[in-house]
Structure 1
Amino acid sequence: MHRLFLSLGMLAAAFLAFPAQALAADSIAGRWVTQDRDAVVEIKQCGNVTCGRIARFLVTPPDGADQRDINNPDANLRQRKLLGLPILTQFREDGSKWRGRIYDPNNGKSYRSVIQRKGANTIEVSGCIGPFCQTQTWRRAR
């Protein structure tokens, strides 16, 4: 009888722990190839938030591998190199999604962003203006 209660107790503890794990978002950390297959973005923990930077070019930018952030609206930031540039900032886990900001160096604009895991090797990255979002699928880099 004692063994039965012990087993039931362990089973109950497992069920109580499961909902907390089920609500947590799968980590988005790793190296991801953008939908256009022009770059690899490395996503990792940056202090108490998650961030992502351009880790590698798969297609050389128009001004070469030393391309600068020439479209940035802030003239003081236009000399930053794109390689290593943080494009995902301030991401925080929110249920099954991650919410933060995404920077597009092609037009120099930042957008509200949502990232969601769609599988072990796929994430969906959305950039939004108001209620309108554009979504891309990024695949895990090999």
Structure 2
Amino acid sequence: MKRPLYQALMATICSTFLIGAARAGDASGTWLRDNGESKVKIGSCGAALCGSVTWVKEAAKQGSVGKRVFYDMVPDGDNKWKGKAFNPDDGKTYTGTMTLNGDKLTTAGCMLGGLICRSVTWARQ
């Protein structure tokens, strides 16, 4: 009798975990910036998500290719992550967020404790 109770408990725990995981979106993949100027590839880096520039339109910005621009992005609710965002244009790192809505990803970099933020929308490729 002890074993079936244990198995039922473990099945409930596993089901709860899997249902929760299924609700979270998958931000992994390649994303094109809304202005068509760059692409980033987002994927796992340890327990977090990271994103690196894979392509830029302007030849003058080719030095950005390969640079990690999103890192330490950890879950912060359904389809949301928080971490750090690096801006290759000014060389600064900001508090960052990512929000997934279907095949659209909105990223934001904030400063002054979130008082000033700049967001960008990306389309899944």
| Short-chain TM bin | 0.7 to 0.9
TM-score (ref. length: structure 1): 0.68
Q: 1:50-129, aligned counterparts within 5 Å? A: 50-57=49-56, 59-62=57-60, 65=62, 67=63, 82-96=64-78, 97-119=80-102, 121-129=103-111
| Contact 1:25 1:98 (C-alpha < 8 Å) held by counterparts | no
The RMSD of aligned alpha carbons is 2.4
Q: Which residue pairs with 2:123 in the alignment?
A: 139
Q: Which has the larger radius of gyration?
A: 1
1:52 Cα deviation after fit: 0.3
How many residue pairs get aligned? The number is 110
SS in 2 for 1:95: coil
- Greater strand content: 2
What's the % identity of the aligned pairs?
27
For structure 1, the 5+ residue unaligned runs are: 1-12, 68-81
Separation in 2, partners of 1:22, 1:48: 14
The one-letter amino acid paired with 1:47 is: G
For structure 2, the 5+ residue unaligned runs are: 1-11
TM-score (ref. length: structure 2): 0.76
